[in-house]
Structure 1
Amino acid sequence: MKALVKTEPGPGHVELVDIPEPACRPDIGVKIEVKYTGICGTDLHVLHDTFKNYPPVTLGHEFSGVVVEVGSEVRRVKSGDRVAVNPSTAVVCGTCEYCLQGYYMFCPIRRGMGHGVNGAFTKYVAVREDQVYKLPDHVTLEEAALAEPLACAVQAIEELTDLHAGDVVLLSGPGPIGMLCLQLLAAKGCRVIVAGTSQDRLRLDMALRLGASLAVDVTAEDLQQIVLRETGGIGVDAAVECAGAGPSVLACLNAVKRLGRHIQVGIIGKEVTLPFDTILYKQLQVVGTLAHSQKTWVRVIKLLNQQKLPLTDTITHKLPLSRWQEAFDLCERKQGLKVFLSYDE
């Protein structure tokens, strides 16, 4: 079968190659035919070798599919079931204090699909039963492929912060995770100001359709003046930084009111210089959020079941795996939001 593989270390070295079909573990294994896999910023980082990876490795971790085979001890799913998958627990010890509490992201030996072990830009994947979540009949496979990025947004907005209806929130970075955060904030009744650059024009327009009160191009408008105008000179109650860029972090810290909150969602990936005393003088609450935890997935499945969020509105393109370069380029140029790849039949 074909797979999109990082073949060796260094920038580039990603190509479509033939690999063997994975074997289903005979006891607790689940083999899945992949239906949709979303391109994540992590995939772009692996392409450019700015995120730790272990080549040769198949990329892709945001996916849904249909079960085609199960091991003898599998009880929760069967062949034919449609499923979402938690890709982040592909390799964990299961016994450290973090694993035992459900905070697998901090397991010292953890490896996730798509960079640490083979991922889902291919036809079949094999995972453990505990990674798999059976879908209700009314949930589409497109919605299910958004489960993992939705989990990142849910932890940031619902689990690690205390935001309420009426709060004014600055969301900086209208990428896929930012737009899912926006949907959660809008559903809570927050007034959301979304900030991006001129490159984000399409995404800023989409933010207004998805519930943002204002969309600000920081390269053409004075964000701080707009924040002061919209908050009566006080500042926003909270800032959610999803861009992963130094200037964006600084803008968020400046925009938050005294005793406000800053939630860092975006990975910057390099050292940045910031006026750290701003946190002290404003007495800010600063929260970092890394992906998700076991309890997050329980909430995500509930959200998928309830279908209260317009998740599929974030999907702008669906392309065959053979056109992966075009799809990656759409993401690099910010000409799409969530771009899906599917196996060529």
Structure 2
Amino acid sequence: MRAVVLEAAQHVVVADVGVPQLEPGEVLVRIERAGVCGSDVAVFSGKRQAEYPLIMGHEAVGTIVDSRMQNRPVGMHPSVESEQNRPVGMHPTDAEENRPVGMHPAADAVKNRPVGMRVVIEPNIPCGTCRICCRGLGNVCPFKRSLGMNSPGAFADYVAIPAEFVHPLPDNISWEDAVGIEPLAVAVHAIRTSGMRTGEEVAVVGCGAEGLLLVQVAVAHGARVLAADLHPEPLAQAREMGAEETLVLGRDGAADYVATHWCPSVVFEAAGASAALEFALSAVAPGGKVVGVGLGTTPVEVVPLQFVRRGLSLVASLIYDHPTDFLRAIELVSSGQIRPSSLLTRSIDLEELPSAFVDGHHHGKMQVRLR
């Protein structure tokens, strides 16, 4: 099959590789479309560590073409393949030992994911058994398998994945819109993490693709939204998507303007820049919450007194909860409240993707056609 393989940092090719072999409890998905996001660019550039060679890509949709039923002995978890290498104390076995015989969730998932079903892939797969997962925090599982990051990804003709991590697509969702469900689930999770309530004022700082999805989800949940960015072009999109007001950053007094004319109980930082987070901390109302969604790598100067006297909270929101946030994202698209394809700036064939990375033509929201 065809696959976009990263052989080293900034060296990517389209290669002919073998079709993945299914493990028990997995399905084989024929990829129809895949999205390119900032994480893919970071992996390509070497800013994000990866083991080479690596098939890239994680935002993907397609059709199930094969499956393998669960036949692992009772007590063996399908996502724990190298248990002996796990640090001591990080694997409570109570959950597995207490599971009734024959009740492994992977078996039911395969039965409910027949060949021919259109699906969207949830590409981050927590181990499900470590202490972090047992606390319900699979999104930050230290052992999670992430397609296109530490596991073969979706810029390929086929992907093998546990059946419970593919979700059925309603017939009224196009492939173009379906590709955007994964980043939409990230926005859904951030809104839930914020505790935002209907009618509240919120601000979104950074109106790239993820920021614009945050604007749409916040509006869909009844918030009044202020969108802020360094550039006016995405702010025009934010207004079209329901933002009540927009603000160009980088001008003197921007934070004071927000504090004077707005009272945002939540500010979402979606730019991944230290200046954006510093602005968010200045702009949020007393008693408010700043939710970090952007994946910035530069240090931020924080004054503890600012938190204490103003009663602020700073929380992080990483990817999504399985399967809650994906199901909500699918619902938002199926109901017509959000159309992710409105963010699409370019569609290319799989063979064009390496040159798009090398030449830097990966800006905006790009999709890859495989069929």
Show the counterpart of 1:309.
Answer: 338
Give how far 1:31 is off. Answer: 0.8
Show the counterpart of 2:99.
Answer: none
CA distance in 2, matches of 1:48, 1:265: 21
Describe the superposition over 1:62-104 as per-residue Cα deviations: whole angstroms up to 9, x where unpaired: 1100111122452011121100111100xx4321133235422
CA distance in 1, matches of 2:252, 2:340: 29
Show the counterpart of 2:255.
Answer: 224
Show the counterpart of 2:62.
Answer: 65
In structure 2, the gaps of 5 or more residues are: 71-109
Count of residues in Structure 1 that have an aligned counterpart in Structure 2: 329
Give how far 1:176 is off. Answer: 1.4
Show the counterpart of 1:17.
Answer: 15
Show the counterpart of 2:129.
Answer: 95
Show the counterpart of 2:184.
Answer: 150
Where do 1:1-345 residues align within 5 Å? 1-8=1-8, 11-25=9-23, 27-73=24-70, 74-89=110-125, 92-157=126-191, 159-198=192-231, 201-220=232-251, 222-231=253-262, 235-294=263-322, 295-325=324-354, 327-328=356-357, 329-332=360-363, 336=364, 338-343=365-370
User: Does the CA contact (< 8 Å) of 2:189 and 2:317 recur in 1?
Assistant: yes
CA distance in 2, matches of 1:170, 1:282: 18
Aligned residue identity for 2:183: P
CA distance in 2, matches of 1:213, 1:14: 42
CA distance in 2, matches of 1:268, 1:45: 11
Partner secondary structure for residue 63 of structure 1 = strand
Give how far 1:58 is off. Answer: 0.8
User: Does the CA contact (< 8 Å) of 1:30 and 1:67 recur in 2?
Assistant: yes
User: Does the CA contact (< 8 Å) of 2:177 and 2:339 recur in 1?
Assistant: no
Partner secondary structure for residue 169 of structure 1 = strand
User: Does the CA contact (< 8 Å) of 1:327 and 1:339 recur in 2?
Assistant: no
CA distance in 1, matches of 2:135, 2:32: 32
Of structures 1 and 2, the one with the larger relative CO (CA 8 A, separation 6+) is 2
Show the counterpart of 2:98.
Answer: none
CA distance in 2, matches of 1:229, 1:327: 44
CA distance in 2, matches of 1:110, 1:175: 26
Most deviating of 187-196 and 259-268: 187-196
Q: TM-score, normalised by structure 2?
A: 0.83
Describe the superposition over 1:11-38 as per-residue Cα deviations: whole angstroms up to 9, x where unpaired: 412222222221233x322111111111
Aligned residue identity for 1:87: P
What RMSD over aligned residues (CA atoms) do the two structures have, in Å?
2.0
Describe the superposition over 1:97-135 as per-residue Cα deviations: whole angstroms up to 9, x where unpaired: 332354222323222000101101111111111111111
Q: TM-score, normalised by structure 1?
A: 0.89
In structure 1, the gaps of 5 or more residues are: none
Describe the superposition over 1:186-229 as per-residue Cα deviations: whole angstroms up to 9, x where unpaired: 1123221211113xx43222111111122222135642243134
User: Does the CA contact (< 8 Å) of 1:82 and 1:141 recur in 2?
Assistant: no
User: Does the CA contact (< 8 Å) of 2:25 and 2:68 recur in 1?
Assistant: yes
Q: Percent identity?
A: 29
Describe the superposition over 1:217-250 as per-residue Cα deviations: whole angstroms up to 9, x where unpaired: 213564224313422xxx4222110001111011
- Note closer, same or farther for the CA distance 1:302–1:101 as it changes in structure 2 (3 Å cut): farther
CA distance in 2, matches of 1:101, 1:318: 40
User: Does the CA contact (< 8 Å) of 1:58 and 1:120 recur in 2?
Assistant: yes
